[in-house]
Structure 1
Amino acid sequence: MSAPSPTDNTLHVHLIKAGRTKISYPVELLHDDGTRVSVRAPWAGDGVRDFGFVQFAPGDVFTEHYWRDRWYSVKEVRAADGSLKGWYCDIARPAVRTANGDIRCEDLDLDLWVSADGSQVIRLDEDEFAESGLAERDPEAARNAVQALDDLELLAKQGDFTALLSHADR
């Protein structure tokens, strides 16, 4: 793929986990200010994924925000009818734009779900994180990951979560 032209708003997100591409999917570039990259894409999974507290389904639209200087990404999730379901936050190493303009983001196993009304703030996959061995292999990255999860959880519980995305293109 060649470098995107100013009129080419399509690129790919590559989510990396344990050194391998977990998923790669096309997205529409909304904004890149040099620190945060915002993109939009339909649900990239196969069929419905039921977490118990929310379902991701065909027709859902994700507006995703990646930072080059923060240890997380935030995905605003809307149903096909436009109603807000909530925000799924991946704890990850800071995102990188590749030479061809794509986004590369390394997932560190921790996640946070924040429901649209803020009544649910749920930490996810802490067992996977502990089993990943990151704390032994890269203690600094593990500390950054846990701190990022704590920071996002605090923002959500204080009701300041949407301020995090206030400058995002919608």
Structure 2
Amino acid sequence: MSVNSTEAAGRLEVVLVKGGRTKLRYAAELLDDDGNRIAVRAPWAGEGVRDFGFVRFEAGDVFTEYYWRDRWYSVKEVRDSTGTLKGWYCDITRPATLRGTELIAEDLDLDLWRSADGTSVLRLDEDEFAESGLTETDPEAAAAAVAALDELEHLAREGGFDALLA
């Protein structure tokens, strides 16, 4: 189903899973589902302010999130309450699944940040990924996760995610 953002698209629950447990669950507006890529929009779902040092997520922030059924990542465009772009936060995940009204993505610990102006591209949580043991328990998934992070970093450094998100 392809949904135009001006149509009443419906609501989904985004479910982020980590280590077999639900890490985060939040309501989102379905913007588009072309059969492979699913786009949703949601306000910051965390409690309070999350200050990473390079960006702060806080009340009023809006995330436009893109998930794929055939890619090992999601890309989240982050804007503040005035609509000013903060940047893109990317999660390395197993390919997303849609079950009923639940959009499920399994977090594999690796992340990437690209600032709005593109001057900052940061690989994140590589230590958590190493500690997760995925390279031993599921080497194919670990290799796919690292390849996905490399792909996103390349895109981020070579001009951003416009072609990916168009």
- 2:31: which partner in 1? 30
- The number of equivalent residue pairs is 160
**Could you say what the CA RMSD is over the residues aligned between the two structures, in angstroms?**
1.1
- Checking the alignment, whether the CA contact within 8 Å between 2:50 and 2:57 is kept in structure 1 is yes
Q: C-alpha distance in 2, partners of 1:47/1:140?
A: 37
Unmatched segments (≥5 aa) in structure 2:
1-6
- The alignment partner of 2:82 has SS state of coil
Deviations 1:33-91 (A, max 9, x none): 00000000000000100000000000000000000000000000000000000000000
Cα deviation 1:84-118 (Å, max 9, x = unaligned): 000000000000000x2210000000000000000
3-state DSSP of counterpart to 1:159: coil
Query: Which residue type is aligned with residue 146 of structure 2?
Result: V
Alignment identity in percent? 68
Counterparts of 1:134 and 1:52, CA distance in 2? 27
Whole-angstrom distance in 1 between the partners of 2:159 and 2:31: 25
- Give the AA of the match of 1:114: R
Q: Deviation per CA, 1:113-147: give whole Å up to 9, x if none.
A: 00000000000000000000000000000000000
SS at match of 1:88: strand
Structure 1 unmatched runs, 5+:
1-5
Quote the residue 1:151 is aligned against.
151
Q: Please list, as runs of the form range in 1=range in 2, the aligned pairs for 1:81-120 lying within 5 A after superposition.
A: 81-98=82-99, 100-120=100-120
CA distance in 2, matches of 1:111, 1:158: 18
TM-score normalised by structure 2 residue count: 0.94
Structure 2 counterpart of 1:75, which letter?
Answer: K
- 26-35 or 157-166, larger mean C-alpha shift: 157-166
1:158 to partner: Cα distance: 0.8
